[in-house]
Amino acid sequence: MLDPNLLRGQLAVVAERLATRGYTLDAAAIESLEAQRKAVQVETQELQNTRNTRSKAIGIAKGKGEDTAALMAEVAGIAEKLKANEARLAEIQQQLATITLGIPNLPDASVPQGADENANVEQHRWGSPRSFDFAVRDHVELGAHKGWLDGEVAAKLSGSRFTVLRGELARLHRALAQFMLDLHTEEHGYSETNVPLIVNSESMQGTGQLPKFEEDLFSIEVNEAKRYLIPTSEVPLTNIVRDTIVDADQLPLRMTAHSLCFRAEAGSGGRDVRGMIRQHQFEKVELVSISKPAESDDEHERMTRSAEIVLEKLGLPYRRMLLCTGDMGFAAAKTYDLEVWLPSQDTYREISSCSNCGDFQARRMLARWRNPESNKPELVHTLNGSGTAIGRALIAVMENYQNADGSIDVPEVLLPYMGGITRLS
């Protein structure tokens, strides 16, 4: 959520910056509601002053034995007006909150302007795509071998965009998750955290999924209360600090979690619905950092580098992209995407997205730290990233390590997790 002071004092500047994201701010509606809010507050203050004056007058009149009926009637009328103003002010504030909760974060000054992914800026590449001397298979064809990857059975069980993994491929999928967790906890300083897969609406609102993106979420009813299946463990991890004041010596707070993720993906389609590219249910190792504002830029670089090391150790060619204003997520102020090489598509595809959200989520969550210099609570900065998406890492390994006979070599770094299996064949 944006700073209300920015919306009140620099509305035109905010609207201009949001326009670079393709978002049109309804400045007129905000100005109108702010004018109404001020008018109600001014009238309320005047009424309170009048009530106080009349109340004193009643006391004086009673002391003199004078009739106070008219004064008491006036005070009663003022009380009714104050009650009406209180209700009106609450209504105006709710309308402002509804608008504010739907406004995306402001892009950082270092983010390039652009309407879509075509304006993203490549930062660097690592590795060279492998040259094949045989016809390359995609992960669906490779997974059909021995029934390792089965979309038909998954569709029977749950519907489209679900997958059943079997045998050695299922083990390779598990190995990737264990490898990523071990790397991030043992070498990158993240604390392993096991989080709920079902959260309340406050948690979803805190990280920005609600109210704007409810149609993209799976929800259930629990004891007549609505709950949501997490789209990423960013939601419960980040909300751990909701409504808290973190001590300065605890920052940066770095957490990682391996979890299932659930996304309704309303309106999405195209080639990505084939196989495991875009699923309703998938697994991810998430990275979340809670940092001091002055350190969040460095923490963003550190987090992105942690995700890059995953791909380098797996021997997967990738490139880092700085997303433009029009391609960033709702809560992000700045985002790096890591795109891994997929031979079957002859292109790079996103496998990790690392974002610095500044104080945008923290303001929604009231997540703060105590600055020792002022000894006052201030908003933290929140960051999140994929470290990485396990299903897409599996796809990349399958396609980049495939052989002419349809077998798949196991990357060296995963061998300790495979129980002696060196090749899926």
**Tens-digit pLDDT profile for residues 208-253:** 999 999 999 999 998 889 999 999 999 999 999 999 999 999 999 9
Active site residue 423: no
User: Which of 320, 259, 315 is CA-nearest to residue 287?
Assistant: 259
pTM of full prediction above 0.85: yes
238 annotated binding-site participant = no
Of 74, 192, 214, 350, the catalytic one is: 350
The C-alpha atoms of residue 38 and residue 45 are separated, in whole angstroms, by 11
Cα 365 to Cα 4, 204, 222, 358, 381, distances in angstroms = 15, 10, 23, 13, 11
Of 227, 263, 302, 368, the catalytic one is: 263
Active site residue 161: no
**Tens-digit pLDDT profile for residues 87-126:** 999 999 999 999 999 999 999 999 999 999 999 999 999 9
**Tens-digit pLDDT profile for residues 189-204:** 999 999 999 999 999 9
393 annotated binding-site participant = no
352 annotated binding-site participant = yes
User: Quick one: average pLDDT of 151-178?
Assistant: 96
DSSP letter assigned to residue 218: -
384 annotated binding-site participant = yes
**Tens-digit pLDDT profile for residues 353-363:** 999 999 999 99
Active site residue 349: no
Active site residue 353: yes
Of 278, 320, 363, 364, the catalytic one is: 278
Asked if the peptide bond before residue 53 counts as cis, ω within 30 degrees of 0, the response is no
350 annotated binding-site participant = yes
Active site residue 125: no
264 annotated binding-site participant = yes
Domains of the chain, first to last: 26-102 (1.10.287.40), 117-424 (3.30.930.10)
